[in-house]
Amino acid sequence: MLITALSVIFIIILASPASFIIARRKNKFTEFLYYFFFMGSLIPQQIIPTIKMFRMFHIYGTIPSAILVYIVLNISFACFLYVGFIKGVSSSIDEAAVIDGADCFQVYFKIVLPLLKPINITIVILTFMNIWNDINIPLYFLSNPKYWTVPMQVYSYFGRYNGSHWELVFAVLVLIALPIILLYLAGQKYIVSGLTSGAVKQ
């Protein structure tokens, strides 16, 4: 829960304002940033160089190393959704706020950020599910069993009771799936609107 929650929080904090700038400022630099983030979702993850880099900074095998990897892996997808959503928000709202004396930070925090609730909830649910169910990152980056995430614990639990106590295995799986089910039920009405906003050019 710690790894998932912190990863999702930092993804929202970093991707949201960056996407606001990309969506609102039309120049070559922001266009480059947009395609830079987009390419981040296409380029495969490099495990060995990442492990070497973390060892160089002496954080390999720690919780921060897993959080950093999850942020990098999911921020491009979040930016892609944010940019599409923000482009669907009329820029006349920003212009009116600027005329009233608001600066860039005030426009974002007081005007744009409250309008991002649907896409915020959509990204929280999708990234939470992606990180919560992932087994590859803990397998490679969390060498200490006491830092293992839920899927790794299930793997260990399944191996311990394989073939004899299926009722225990399925009970653990139900408890693990419960947070995702509750999160999805709480925010399901925002998912469709968050994913489809900005898909049609206005």
- The least confident of 31-35, 55-59, 171-175 is 171-175
Residue 20 lies in a domain: yes
Report the CATH number at residue 109: 1.10.3720.10
Residue 202 lies in a domain: no
- The least confident of 80-94, 110-124, 140-154 is 140-154
Residue 73 lies in a domain: yes
Residue 189 lies in a domain: yes
Residue 75 lies in a domain: yes
Domain containing residue 16: 2-196
Residue 201 lies in a domain: no
Kindly report, residue by residue over 50-75, the tens digit of the pLDDT.
989 999 999 998 999 999 999 999 99
Residue 155 lies in a domain: yes
Residue 57 lies in a domain: yes
104 or 5: which leads in pLDDT: 5
Kindly report, residue by residue over 139-149, the tens digit of the pLDDT.
888 878 788 88
The DSSP line for the chain is -HHHHHHHHHHHHHHHHHHHHHHH--SHHHHHHHHHHHHHTTSPP-HHHHHHHHHHTT-TTSHHHHHHHHHHHHHHHHHHHHHHHHHTS-THHHHHHHHTT--HHHIIIIIIGGGGHHHHHHHHHHHHHHHHT--HHHHHH--SGGG--HHHHHHHHHHHSTTT-HHHHHHHHHHHHHHHHHHHHHHHHHHHHHHHTTSS--
The number of folded domains in the chain is 1
